Amino acid sequence: MDGVPVGWAAVEQFSAYPGLARSPITKRVGDDPADPWAVTCFVVRLEYRKRGVARALLRGAVDYALSQGATVVEGYPVDPDVRPSLSSAERFHGTVSLFDSSGFRVVRRPSATRAIMRFEASA
Strand partners, 38: 12, 74
| Domain ranges (residues) in the chain | 7-120
**Eight-class DSSP state of 32:** -
Q: Report how far Cα 121 is from the mean position of its chain's Cα atoms.
A: 16
Q: Which residue, 120, 30, 86, is CA-closest to 97?
A: 86
Angstrom CA distances, 16 to 10, 35, 40, 72, 91, stand at 11, 9, 11, 15, 22
- 7-120 domain in CATH 3.40.50.1820? no
pLDDT in tens, the chain (123 residues): 578 899 999 999 999 999 999 999 999 999 999 899 999 999 999 899 889 999 999 999 999 999 999 999 999 999 988 888 877 777 788 999 999 999 999 999 999 999 999 999 875
Nearest to 97 by CA among 34, 64, 65, 50: 50
pTM metric for this prediction: 0.91
